[in-house]
Amino acid sequence: MDSRRRRIATGAVLLAFIVFIGCGPKNELGKELSVALPDQAAGSSVAETPAQTAANGTPPAQPADEPPQDREDLFPGGVSYYEGSDRMDSLESGNTPAYFKKDTMRPYGFYIPETMKEIKQEEGLAWGKEDPKVELSLLDADKVPSEISYSSYINPLLSKYHEYVGTERGEDGIYTDYILLTDHGRSFAIRLRYPGEDQAAELPDLLASARSLRYVADPAAFQPGMEIEFPQGENEEESDIYQLVEECLRAIASSDKTAFRKTLQTPHADYYDYLLEHEGSYRFTKLEYPISYPRDTARADVGIEYELLKDGIVRQAGYTISLLKDKEGRWYIATID
């Protein structure tokens, strides 16, 4: 009997203990007290939801900015050639005269406002001013910091351009923007530096100078002639058109007046002799656009690009060559414009 009573008493104590654990300890207001879980032990942390973080007074982390979907080219059509002009009355940002300055280590230069001075650096030349501290320079692509990307700070005034890759914000308040380019088989960057607090005042002038970038072709390396490899064309007629255009351009490059006039086959063939009679030399470099028929199939246009060496300067330009059919259905070049 005593043994049975002892078992009943033991069971009652055990049941009371289970009920106590299930209900959890209470504070004086009757609310459940929290019990630390293993993951919440000292020295560990549990991620909060955005709502919890905001409630604690700290804004939630924002996702990294993404490049705009409708970005544009900083240099539409590519980097222009330097054509020998040493001065511009003004850049696109204002009325200050600007003068062409070439980098000492690369075949490029900028039109620099007269308010900016030359600064010598290890990477080459920079141009800028002291008050406020502002600089524009070129550097090799591998000198752009590897951490510069769209995961870092994005300058909203530059993010619309394809060539813009990111901005450093220094502890001293200086912003450094990087614009990455590939031109004539060379990769390099334009670097813009200015105080962040002066961004609105200084960046437009820096960007205008950056957009004035010019390629300075080496006249000693100039090779006159034909570099264009014309396609076969989609049919025999287009093949004939491309062949005629190539013969015409080769005649211009070699100043062969007889071969040149033969491609024109027009009563006024001598009108275009001026293309052969100047002191410059041609190098035809690119098929800018293939055969098109702007009006009807009796007229065809072909666009080409060329370099012209004249007076020690290599310039770049282009022609639209228009062809017509004669009465026998043969193509001839009607205009070179």
Q: Is the CATH number of domain 225-336 3.10.450.50? A: yes
pLDDT at residue 283 in the model? 97
Per DSSP, helices labelled H in the chain are 2-23, 50-55, 199-211, 236-253, 257-264
Percent of the residues in the chain that have a pLDDT greater than 70, as a whole number: 77
**Residue 137: what pLDDT?**
97
**Dihedral, CA of residue 106, residue 110, residue 115 and residue 118, to nearest 10:** 10
Q: Of 12-16, 40-44, 310-314, where does mean pLDDT reach its minimum?
A: 40-44
For residue 243, is it left (φ>0), alpha (ψ between -120 and 50) or beta? alpha
CATH assignment of 80-216?
2.60.120
Which has more pLDDT, 329 or 118?
118
Q: What is the pLDDT of residue 109?
A: 97
Q: What is the mean pLDDT of residues 280-298?
A: 91
For residue 65, the model assigns a pLDDT of 56
Most confidently modeled range among 40-54, 109-123, 202-216, 283-297: 202-216
Between residues 233 and 8, which one has the greater pLDDT?
A: 233
- Quickly state the pLDDT bin for 123 (edges 50, 70, 90): confident
pLDDT tens by residue, 213-258: 999 999 999 999 999 999 999 999 999 999 999 999 999 999 999 9
| Residue reference for tokens 């502002």 | 134
Quick: pLDDT tens for 291-331: 999 877 789 999 999 999 999 999 999 999 999 988 888 89
Q: Please give the Cα distance from 299 to 35 (Å, whole number).
A: 87
Compute the Cα dihedral for 266, 267, 268, 273 and give only its sign.
Answer: positive
pLDDT band for 92, please (50, 70, 90 cuts): confident
Share of the chain above pLDDT 90, in %: 64
Q: 138-189: per-residue pLDDT in tens?
A: 999 999 998 886 556 889 999 999 999 999 999 999 999 999 999 999 999 9
| Residue 84, pLDDT above cutoff 80 | yes
Sorting pLDDT into bands at 50, 70 and 90, what band is 55?
very low
Q: What is the residue extent of each domain of the chain?
A: 80-216, 225-336
- Which strand ranges, in their side-by-side order, compose the sheet holding 98-102? 80-81, 214-215, 108-113, 98-102, 87-88
pLDDT at residue number 32:
35
Angle subtended at Cα 147 by Cα 195 and Cα 119, rounded to the nearest 5 degrees: 40
Distance CA 194, CA 198 (A): 7
Mode of pairing for the β-strands spanning 214-215 and 225-226: unpaired
